Chains A and B, each alone.
Chain A
Amino acid sequence: MEPLRIADQEFESRLFVGTGKYADNDTMMEALRASGTAMVTVSVRRVDLDRTQSEGILFHLDPDEFFLLPNTAGCYTAEDAIRYARLARAAGFNEWLKLEVIGDEATLVPDTQATLEAAQTLVDEGFKVMAYTNDDLITALRLEDVGCVAVMPLASPIGSGLGIVNPYFIREIKRRCEVPIIVDAGVGTASDACVAMEQGVDGVLMNTAIAAAEDPVAMAHAMRLATQAGRLAYVAGRMEAREIAVPSSPTRGMLD
């Protein structure tokens, strides 16, 4: 399959995977490898100085094996997202960022105005911003205009597993934007990933669908195949759907 290029980086996989919510670090590492992903997201948080929680993820995750994409998850204002972004860059791995500014606690849908504001500042500071956004065409176009290297519309709310609720606008965003489009959030199972890729988007990002599966490693493998299958089907070009049966076998040459 053709590699995916985002800004100056090429990725062999079109599946991006989050590293949250795994039962343990060994399962996470095995799942990441089974998914075939090349890029994984991480979050910036306080060190637990009383060590009641597990240590930092870099004790387990080798940044040479997976390209790290720090996120600003949990931020509700542009100011907070910018602060977390700067902290993430200061860790010294890269200047890439999954920008996420949440606008509503119940649905975790993004605050698109604050996202645009933060994106502008961070692009100006030299960040390579991959922006998590709504399935809204105008916001996607504006995020591209301010210089985001990828736009990442949601399939459905984070952690919901509802799949793509608005395939038409995902297709429209892909058709109108020039930067890569990554469907981010809402994938629940392999068919959701496949359907997302069949819309023509460049990649899909997921976390809970793998981490919360009964067998995360097996689900990671399923997601790898589904993402590939969806991409291949899109590139192959599907037949036209029609609400009438058309025989697959010759109608001539039947016996009397």
Chain B
Amino acid sequence: MRAIQRDERLVMNDPGNIQVRVNGKEREVRSGLSVHELVESFDLNPLLIVVELNREILNRDQFKDVEISDGDAVELVHFVGGG
């Protein structure tokens, strides 16, 4: 939650906000937020992550055009160490 609270685009308890599930955790974000803005709100480099929105993988060139909707499930994934 640290990243969200720091970001002025994501105002908590605003009636214009929507509920989304990001990486399995419920979060409140501003209505009309783009995927790109969501990714940036967590200080993530869009080039190093992959976004799945409601089980559909988004191309990176869609990040700025796709808006998050109320009830969406977003997964932000990347590569970690593994065998």
| Interface residues, chain A, with chain B CB atoms under 8 Å away | 18-22, 28, 41-47, 49-51, 56-59, 68, 70-71, 73, 83, 86-88, 90-92, 158, 185, 205-208
Check B82–A41 contact: CB distance below 8 A: yes
Please name all residues of chain A whose beta carbon is closer than 8 Å to the beta carbon of B57 when the two chains form the complex. 86-87, 90
Distance, CA A71 to CA B80, complexed state (A): 10
- Find the A residue at minimum CB distance from B2: A50
Please name all residues of chain B whose beta carbon is closer than 8 Å to the beta carbon of A88 when the two chains form the complex. 50, 79
- Find the A residue at minimum CB distance from B39: A47
Please name all residues of chain B whose beta carbon is closer than 8 Å to the beta carbon of A19 when the two chains form the complex. 81-83
Number of chain B interface residues as a range: 20 to 34
Distance, CA A207 to CA B82, complexed state (A): 8
Question: In chain B, residues 35-83, which have Cβ atoms closer than 8 Å to a Cβ of chain A?
Answer: 42, 44, 48-50, 52, 55, 57, 59-60, 75-83
Distance, CA A50 to CA B78, complexed state (A): 15
Check B50–A87 contact: CB distance below 8 A: yes
Known: A47-B44, A56-B48, A86-B57. A20 touches B75 (CB 8 A): no
Please name all residues of chain B whose beta carbon is closer than 8 Å to the beta carbon of A44 when the two chains form the complex. 50, 77-80
Write the nearest CB–CB distance from A173 to chain B, whole angstroms: 21
B24 at the interface (CB under 8 A from A): yes
Distance, CA A20 to CA B22, complexed state (A): 25
- Find the A residue at minimum CB distance from B57: A90
Check A49–B23 contact: CB distance below 8 A: yes
- Find the B residue at minimum CB distance from A59: B48
Write the nearest CB–CB distance from B50 to chain A, whole angstroms: 5
Since A20-B80, A57-B80 are in contact, a sample of 5 more A-B pairs with Cβ atoms closer than 8 Å, ordered by chain A residue number, is: A19-B83, A42-B81, A46-B24, A47-B77, A206-B83
Distance, CA A70 to CA B25, complexed state (A): 25
Distance, CA A90 to CA B60, complexed state (A): 9
Pick the contact of B83 from A20, A57, A92 — CB < 8 Å? Answer: A20
Distance, CA A159 to CA B73, complexed state (A): 34
- Find the B residue at minimum CB distance from A43: B82
Check B78–A21 contact: CB distance below 8 A: no
Please name all residues of chain B whose beta carbon is closer than 8 Å to the beta carbon of A28 when the two chains form the complex. 81
- Find the B residue at minimum CB distance from A56: B78
Check A49–B81 contact: CB distance below 8 A: no
Write the nearest CB–CB distance from B80 to chain A, whole angstroms: 5
Write the nearest CB–CB distance from A126 to chain B, whole angstroms: 15
Check B81–A22 contact: CB distance below 8 A: yes
Write the nearest CB–CB distance from B40 to chain A, whole angstroms: 13
